[in-house]
Structure 1
């Protein structure tokens, strides 16, 4: 360790969010250091976050991280609901898993956090990121020149100072970075408590390797989650009535005993117990995710909520992906400062929606009614819970998460996919081989923008493309930070023959007009894709508006 080394970014917290952020920043050409206060060898081996939803998987794929996770995780595509030992049809709560569309990742990958972190640490090691454990952040100060942060080595009792341009707090719900920066953490904690317990079990429940909701009047909406390596998680509400049975407090034996009770009338036997926890339910969000233009917050440092919808790690990963490219391109002098400022506003809007949603489902999962409910109090709360989950399906999968208009996301004459939304992952055809490729596969670079030209009617498109070439010289104007793709409805033995001219960038065929229709560009047009894969602008095949857009976004 050399404290004289100056980094572009120092990341406080070596959990999955901090590790993922560091991995991206390094790949995007910045220098980064990660400092984790715990010794991971002594920290809980299992437990914590388990579910990675489709949009999160797409992001991990774009970063070349998905394959080792697919080798270890459990791909869950089905769900089941039981009440009084009988299967409820149609099911409730997790049924959205069975109807995931418009993505290669039509499942939820269940992988315990221990494995996710190890994969990310291995990736960091392979690309040479500085990573230190047992290093606790105890102070930092920032000015117009940068940040000086002080760390205490718990193993040697030494103190180290680090200089960096920016400091990111990914240090959990009790974040020192957030508190020291004076950022309010708004929200509250309820009296409700839940228990989660992982292990290898035997059961006579008929369907045991699907995501399950067991509707109990005593233990809430019990979670049954199949895990990696043949393990299972059981989660249930630890009500005051249950707690009164154990005046000495909760032990592993208590957690196991009540897990067995929660599953009745099914029989459950624990062959192994890997991890368990008791925690209070609450929802909190930082007033801002950035401070002094030098300090940023990600993951639990910026927001906390229940595990009811299994969104915690997914939301943190969305934070990291949103921040990484904006921070890296800003440091490299590629983007205007206003682009980096969109991180806090975009992520706060998404997290606020999650927190409002989480408040309702956490209460309903505890077999209680939210304050707003004015219906029959003798009705079944789990029916309302199922309805809420169904309505929030696109948000749960992450495929429907979107951002409003801002400096990046521009409303225009383009009437297809809205700016700030994820584009359809349509299937296109590779020239020559005829191999099918998906849209996200061809925009597989999270460090550049993509300008995608949909030709429309090819007889008109040639004239438009020739004019577009005259309007702008992509190499001179955009300096390698914008890639071009042409999507043609006409096919040929080569891209040149399909168009009668060379395409802008690589060309792919839209043989059945599906891509044009899904993007709302039957007559042709241009869509600009942000480095994180979202649509940020669109319009006609004209160079003027494209030039104007990038002139305002890029330096």
Structure 2
């Protein structure tokens, strides 16, 4: 075996969770090695996730991959085992043994190990992290291929059809000329095929499932028959250096298209915390919040999925029995009541060392910071606040946004900000960027503020950003935004010392002002 390679983070699994985490770490100058046991040259494109929700697209923006999902990795290597040894005191506490079908074995030493290797995660099993799987009696069919139909709107993207014998039938437009159709093996179909369903029978049932519309299978790319299981791992972190994410940490149905989207949330929640840990920025409590925040979100997801998988399978959940509702009506109710969470915009995190409530703003700490239109000085062209937050290589960096309000009323308070807030940023060079947002417009920052602006200066011409964040124009506010666009903290313009104290609770080597 050759001498071991070294890396900051060994990522096992080259799916969405693993690749996005490695991209995010690379943008923060953290070295990674990505391994996947599957051969890159024989990857099957069919049978993959199909849906990206709005919040997932927002989370992908800081990684620069919305338009072009590209990433290099090492393919065909399987993690055989790993061990943890801190006795060498060189921070490379993980030693992983990788095995290739033709190239033999090699060692990789890393500071952290991320298991992003799917529902049958080797990392989860080798580390002894348990997952409480709950098997159900529900079985689903999914078929990808070139499918021709006279169903109205077949190429619009998505359709859901309630049926008598096939549950809630799924129809999705895929890449190029392909579509996906999915249905449930209801008790009627299970009785019809007591010895299991064959490929030919599955295709015929797909044809029958959308009658009276016609369906022709011109090319079959892939099909699967699977039983619904649900579960959340007991921990997203073990022994300080081992982490799980994506399907390695949570298993559920594909009913509400949560798999890839939840993995994106996992990756973007983890990547800045892990990069900061590698760089020595953060105390250990920050990486612990990856478990507390994402485990709670996955637990809620599973609760929703349990109800959704029942009604998609054409049955009635116990709590709805006797109410006269159809499965389709219950499905609509379940989706409507949880739509904000399911599309990611309503995902929020509990109060913690990172999420601390002081100022009564419209945006609650631990929740997504809304986007808004603002303007750069000297132009009336609008830009997004999110774009302003992402400028200047912002990956992994915190944004402190000073909502200056009506500067005719807040100049005195803003003078305190100008004096003290840059010192906070200087104490964390490379970690924090400053932005000032003034309600209304003016000839220049100096004329509006009686002095220079703190950080990059923008106009909030109609006060819409202030309104989105619930900031009183007569008082202003300071918003501390996490690298994943979650509000971590908020304070008044004269309360800069509270911002200093907030960071001191979880940042290493903090320099008192």
- TM-score grouping bracket, smaller chain normalisation: over 0.9
Q: Which residue of 2 aligns with 1:185?
A: 131
Q: Distance in 2 between matches of 1:2 and 1:209?
A: 53
User: 2:377 is matched with which residue: 408, 413, 431?
Assistant: 431
Q: Distance in 2 between matches of 1:475 and 1:174?
A: 44
Is contact 1:446–1:532 with CA below 8 Å preserved after alignment? no
User: Does structure 1 residue 476 correspond to structure 2 residue 476?
Assistant: no
User: 1:539 is matched with which residue: 491, 495, 507?
Assistant: 491
In the TM superposition, what whole-angstrom CA distance separates every residue of 1:47-84 from its partner, at most 9, and x where no partner exists? 2211010000111122111113xxxxxxxxxxxxxxxx
Q: CA deviation at 1:293?
A: 0.4
Q: Distance in 1 between matches of 2:45 and 2:137?
A: 28
Q: Distance in 2 between matches of 1:469 and 1:505?
A: 9
In the TM superposition, what whole-angstrom CA distance separates every residue of 1:181-229 from its partner, at most 9, and x where no partner exists? 1111013111211011112222111221232111001000001112222
Q: Which residue of 1 aligns with 2:240?
A: 293
User: Does structure 1 residue 320 correspond to structure 2 residue 273?
Assistant: no
Across the two proteins, how many residue pairs are aligned to each other? 495
Secondary structure of the equivalent of 2:64?
coil
User: Does structure 1 residue 173 correspond to structure 2 residue 115?
Assistant: no
Q: Distance in 2 between matches of 1:433 and 1:511?
A: 11
Structure 1: tracts of 5 or more residues without a match: 69-118, 126-130
Q: Which residue of 2 aligns with 1:142?
A: 84
Q: Distance in 1 between matches of 2:420 and 2:455?
A: 16
User: Does structure 1 residue 231 correspond to structure 2 residue 231?
Assistant: no
Is contact 2:362–2:469 with CA below 8 Å preserved after alignment? yes
Q: Which residue of 1 aligns with 2:402?
A: 453
User: Does structure 1 residue 554 correspond to structure 2 residue 507?
Assistant: yes
In the TM superposition, what whole-angstrom CA distance separates every residue of 1:485-530 from its partner, at most 9, and x where no partner exists? 1110131233333333211111111111121122111231011100
Q: CA deviation at 1:254?
A: 2.4
Secondary structure of the equivalent of 2:318?
coil
Q: CA deviation at 1:248?
A: 5.6
Q: Distance in 2 between matches of 1:60 and 1:181?
A: 29
Q: Which residue of 1 aligns with 2:366?
A: 420
Q: Which residue of 2 aligns with 1:335?
A: 282
Is contact 2:418–2:453 with CA below 8 Å preserved after alignment? no
Q: Which residue of 2 aligns with 1:348?
A: 295
Q: Distance in 2 between matches of 1:547 and 1:491?
A: 30
CA RMSD of aligned residues (A): 1.7
Q: Which residue of 1 aligns with 2:511?
A: none
Cα distance change of structure 1 residues 430 and 280 upon mapping to structure 2, 3 Å threshold:
same
Q: Which residue of 2 aligns with 1:60?
A: 60
Q: Distance in 1 between matches of 2:165 and 2:84?
A: 51
Q: CA deviation at 1:2?
A: 6.5
Secondary structure of the equivalent of 2:442?
coil
Q: Distance in 1 between matches of 2:143 and 2:444?
A: 58
Q: CA deviation at 1:392?
A: 1.0
Is contact 1:194–1:278 with CA below 8 Å preserved after alignment? yes
Q: CA deviation at 1:40?
A: 3.1
Deviates most, 388-397 or 269-278: 269-278
Q: CA deviation at 1:324?
A: 0.8
Q: Distance in 1 between matches of 2:282 and 2:139?
A: 45
Q: Which residue of 2 aligns with 1:410?
A: 356
In the TM superposition, what whole-angstrom CA distance separates every residue of 1:233-254 from its partner, at most 9, and x where no partner exists? 1110023432444456433322
Q: Which residue of 2 aligns with 1:262?
A: 209
Is contact 2:114–2:244 with CA below 8 Å preserved after alignment? yes
Q: Distance in 1 between matches of 2:277 and 2:336?
A: 39
Q: Distance in 2 between matches of 1:132 and 1:480?
A: 30
TM-score, length-scaled by structure 1 = 0.86
Q: Distance in 2 between matches of 1:312 and 1:3?
A: 37
Is contact 2:424–2:500 with CA below 8 Å preserved after alignment? no
Q: Which residue of 1 aligns with 2:413?
A: 464
Secondary structure of the equivalent of 1:493?
coil
Q: Distance in 1 between matches of 2:356 and 2:214?
A: 56
Q: Distance in 2 between matches of 1:134 and 1:513?
A: 53
Q: Which residue of 2 aligns with 1:78?
A: none
Deviates most, 447-456 or 467-476: 467-476
Q: Distance in 2 between matches of 1:207 and 1:393?
A: 23
Structure 2: tracts of 5 or more residues without a match: 509-513
Q: CA deviation at 1:3?
A: 4.8
